[in-house]
Structure 1
Amino acid sequence: MEKSAHDKSSSHSNSSSTSTIVGVHYQVGKKLGEGSFGVIYEGLNLLNNQSVAIKFEPRKSEVPQLRDEYRTYKILAGTSGVPSAYYFGHEGLHNVLVIDLLGPSLEDLFDMCGRKFSIKTVAMVAKQMISRVQSVHERNLIYRDIKPDNFLIGRPGTKYANMVFLVDYGMAKLYRDPKTKKHIPYRERRSLSGTARYMSINTHLGREQSRRDDLEALGHVFMYFLRGSLPWQGLKAATNKQKYEKIGEKKQSTSVKELCGAFPEEFGIYLQYVRKLGFEETPDYDFLKELFDKVLERIGEKDDGIHDWMLLNDGKGWENRFKQLKDARARRSGHHQSKHHNKRSRAPVTATNNNNADNRHRSTTDMPVAPAYVPLQDPFSQQKERKEKHGFWKSLVSFITCSGHQD
């Protein structure tokens, strides 16, 4: 969700929150986006004029994530391609997390490029994405919510402008004990965690996730970038549960050849390899990255860092196009909200329909929460999931304290 801001001179003057200070010296600027957790704003560190991203989450959220996300950022501190976290605390009715401000997501860039990436661009970003996931795994964590929205590039004009960052660690979980390296046990009938479009087949089947599942989800993202869409998109069903089942069934019935056959064979080899990994098996990350070096060699290209989005706007890059897309989205959003408000003002008062999926994502605060890309949770297992995560963080904090690392 971390987004970039391109008009720094107006970023704070256009915001109604310019006078708001959080964490003693972080000034809240304009809103950048919103998601299942809450809202994210551009901000400014008043001590050094460094731009930051400030995430707000209602403290009464059913499954609060920002505290866990902050702890995960601290575990990953110093890791290449992971933003720094500067502050976590409470401000009124909200939890607040302050992290590095980054550029657009790969999903944003995908939109800008006409919803298809070239083979060269996919091969180059694939190597970086695998490296980011590898770094998370090496710190004893699995990510569990792989999707293009959670991979961002750096801010323009910096040395990290084309580095791919992995953000949003609210779903991350230990897959092994940090001290003993003992792997978590295999279990079934687990709740779904992640985004249905990209999650692994084993996740659909309710099997405990491990490293292999992050990598399989990456493979689905690669094919999404190449194809423009995936065969299991657009499926209809009466309920979300039935829809997720349909998606899982379609994934299982779609052969690797059918999914990847129109592209260099290495994409199919990647997916076959990760799907055959054992639950506790350590993936050969170097082998997987080398596959994409072979792709570049096959098509006569090199990893020169020139991605599709850099060629937009007659070679001037993505920034102007990004601003156009943001403005268009803002206009559509404003038009929708205006129509919705007018309908509500005319509509009679009726009983709430508890079966309406949108009702599950409404907040009692004035902070809007968008239903798009909501991490999937089985409502009957949320309480159990919270207990598990509490135990996970309690043991992890104990480990960090004993190891002398910063909490």
Structure 2
Amino acid sequence: MDKFNPMKMRSDAIVGGKYRLSRKIGSGSFGDIYLGISIQSGEEVAIKMESTSARHPQLQYEAKLYRVLHGDNFLMGIGRHCNKLFLIDFGLAKKYRDPQTRLHILYREDKNLTGTARYASINAHLGIEQSRRDDMESLGYVMMYFNRGVLPWQGMKANNKTQKYEKISEKKMSTPIEVLCKGFPAEFSMYLNYCRSLRFDEQPDYMYLRQLFRILFRTLNHQYDYIYDWTMLKQKTHQSQPNPALLLGQADTRNDREREREKEKEKASGKTMLSE
């Protein structure tokens, strides 16, 4: 992440002595995203630019849209935070309320898709300005990806990115929620149906959505023991691995036995020679 003065920004500026800025491809509350091209290799990268005048460049504000929800941005903590889920990468986050007036952003159309097409809301595919409902819908797709391992609109073949996004959009709109969530608890389809029913500026009923899954959690007789599949797998892997200290001890024991056998052979050989 580089800092910059927006008044002096040029499209051909060199950043970090390695990348040439090409064009602006996105923006959020905390900076702009530019397409950068490596001077040496020609590789394309995304570069986040922040104004040097910002008092707290990384400070996150209330009233923000995430807009780029996908599975890779959910991380589990480590150590004493191993039971906490962390959401990272707010580079394309955007306020949905004006910080002065507190009014909701205006409804707009003909917007470019921001975020990952796999998890984007249907309205985002249609070019409609994103709001809170879109983040919630995207979260639903992330959960179903975790459940299923793959979503129906993955693996679409196309000649270019635009055509691929169109195919993903068509498949997403033509796949009934009940089909997407088939084989899983009804709460997942209830969640997605609710999110898709929200109006542009409507506040989601977060308490209702949390309760959906809290009740499901209890219905399935799960416990808040903070033991997850991956922690159990890690324990099994650790238990199945041989203990180096134990192996070393066993090797020492074998060596001692070999030495004892050699001594016995030497003694036996000496007695035979004396008897002759």
Instruction: Report the TM-score range of the alignment, normalised by the length of the smaller protein.
Output: 0.5 to 0.7
Residues 142, 175 of structure 1: 8 Å contact kept? yes
Between the aligned partners of 1:247 and 1:147, the Cα distance in structure 2 is 15
* 1:63-100 Cα distance to aligned partner (Å, 9 max, x none): 142527x9563135xxxxxxxxxxxxxxxxxxxxxxxx
Relative to the length of structure 1, the TM-score reads 0.46
**Alpha-carbon distance, 1:290 to partner:** 1.1
Does residue 169 (structure 1) correspond to residue 90 (structure 2)? The answer is yes
Q: Does the Cα contact within 8 Å between 1:66 and 1:170 map onto a contact in 2?
A: no
Post-superposition Cα deviations, 1:125-153, rounded to whole Å, max 9, x if no partner, equal: xxxxxxxxxxxxxx011011000111112
Q: Which residue of 2 aligns with 1:280?
A: 201
> Which consecutive residues of structure 2, in runs of 5 or more, have no partner in the other structure?
1-17, 24-33, 35-46, 242-276
* Aligned partner (choices 137, 147, 151) of residue 74 of structure 2: 151
From 54, 60, 68, the equivalent of 1:75 is 60
Q: Is the 8 A contact 1:73 1:169 kept in 2?
A: no
3-state SS of paired residue (2:216) = helix
After superposition, the C-alpha distances for 1:356-376 in whole angstroms (9 at most, x for unaligned) are xxxxxxxxxxxxxxxxxxxxx
Mapping 1:1-400, distance limit 5 Å: 58=19, 60=21, 62=23, 63=34, 64-67=47-50, 73-76=58-61, 139-154=62-77, 156-157=78-79, 159-315=80-236
Aligned to 1:385: none
Q: Within 2, Cα distance between the matches of 1:59 and 1:72?
A: 23
What TM-score results when the alignment is normalised by the length of structure 2?
0.67
Structure 1 match to 2:5 = none
C-alpha distance 72-234 of structure 1, shift in aligned 2 (>3 A): farther
Question: Which whole-Å CA distance do the structure 2 matches of 1:72 and 1:185 have between them?
Answer: 26
Compute the displacement of 1:60 (Å).
3.2
| Structure with bigger RCO (C-alpha 8 Å, 6+ apart) | 1
What are structure 1's unaligned runs of at least 5 residues?
A: 1-56, 77-138, 321-407
Displacement of 1:299: 1.4
Q: Which residue of 2 aligns with 1:370?
A: none
> Structure 2: how far apart are the matches of 1:169 and 1:72?
12
Q: Which residue identity is paired with 2:92?
A: M
In structure 1, distance between residues paired with 2:85 and 2:20: 30
Q: Distance in 2 between matches of 1:66 and 1:306?
A: 40
Q: Distance in 1 between matches of 2:22 and 2:216?
A: 44
Instruction: Name the counterpart of 2:265.
Output: none
Greater C-alpha radius of gyration = 2
Matches of 1:58 and 1:161, distance apart in 2: 37
Quick one: structure 1 residues 309 and 66, their matched pair in 2 at CA, closer, same or farther if it must change by over 3 Å?
Answer: farther
| Kept after mapping to 2: 8 A contact 1:266/1:294 | no
Change (3 A) 1:305 1:195: same
Deviation of 1:314 after TM superposition, in Å, equals 3.8
- Deviation of residue 266 (structure 1)? 0.5
What is the match of residue 378 of structure 1?
Answer: none
Aligned partner letter, 1:150: N
Q: Percent identity?
A: 49
Structure 1 residue 304, shift from structure 2 partner: 2.5
Distance 1:153 1:271 in 2: 24
SS in 1 for 2:86: strand
Amino acid at match of 1:193: T
RMSD of aligned Cα (Å): 2.2
Q: Cα offset for 1:58? A: 4.8
Partner SS for 1:302: coil
